[in-house]
Amino acid sequence: MKRPEPLIAPSILSADFTRLGEQIDEAVDGGADWIHCDVMDGHFVPNISFGPMVVEAARTRNDAFLDVHLMINNPEQYIVQFAKAGSDQISVHCEATPHIHRALQMINQTGCKAGVAINPGTPIFELEPILHMVDLVIVMSVNPGFGGQKFIKQSYQRIEQLARLRNSGGHPFLIEVDGGVTLENARSIIAAGADVLVAGSSIYRTDSIADTISKMRKNAQSALRPVV
């Protein structure tokens, strides 16, 4: 089956928050396909980032696709607020609620695309009962909570396992990889079966956001088209 073109989704978690609007513009003007918004509550993960207000601010900035990643407990309580704030896609962690099926139903009812995220310690097969409900699966390649961490190498097998489940089930969801993505590992991550690369520090902590996005895209595409 033809693979879709790889997508690059800069995470604003690593942006300069003293000028967040400009940093979002720089990523969008620099070729970003999605803007990844990492929402953290200080309970599900040991860090607090931001809430619906920042998504709303990003929404007013431009018409970029807002890929919202809820690293929060009991996400059902906030799905409608993040949808109203202007999210295009809302992903919740399968570990963050006993009712992941209902949480995904709630996202689908808002009209947003629905995603499920999975931590490095959770078996991929746990997703099987809900893979038919999602547009996206986020494979966490770090333990969530902070940008700038090292890519966990076991993630490659997990991406391959998920890609096999997608193909055998005929599911249309995209596979997103989040955490420790760099120019150096982008190609191998796409080769393992991923479609979307989330990158925070490796994009925002460089001299040129546009240049890094373009290089990451080239490296990602080379996994689908061997360089002749």
Residues known to be catalytic: 38, 178
State which of residues 34, 44, 82, 146 lies at the interface with ligand DX5 (CB under 6 A).
Answer: 146
Task: Please select the residue that binds Zn ion; options are 69, 113, 158, 166, rule is CB under 5 A.
Answer: 69
Distance CA 17, CA 48 (A): 14
Contact 162, 139 (CB under 8 A): yes
Q: Is 118 in the site for ligand DX5 (CB under 6 A)?
A: no
DSSP letter (8 states) at residue 149: P
Among Zn ion, ligand DX5, none, what binds residue 66 when CB lies within 5 to 8 Å by partner kind? none
Instruction: From residue 67, give the alpha-carbon distance in Å to each of 49, 58, 168.
Output: 15, 11, 26
Stretch that binds Zn ion, among 36-44, 92-100, 155-163, 220-228 (CB under 5 A): 36-44
Residues 62-81 that bind ligand DX5 (CB under 6 A): 69
Using CB atoms within 10 A of its CB, is residue 32 exposed (0-12), middle (13-18) or buried (19+)? buried
Query: Which 3 state secondary structure label does DSSP give 38?
Result: strand
Q: Nearer Cβ to ligand DX5, position 10 or 86?
A: 10
Contact call for residue 38 and Zn ion (CB under 5 A): yes
Least Cβ distance, residue 2 to Zn ion (angstroms): 27
Binding site for ligand DX5 (CB under 6 A): 11, 13-14, 36, 38, 69, 142, 144-149, 178-181, 198-202
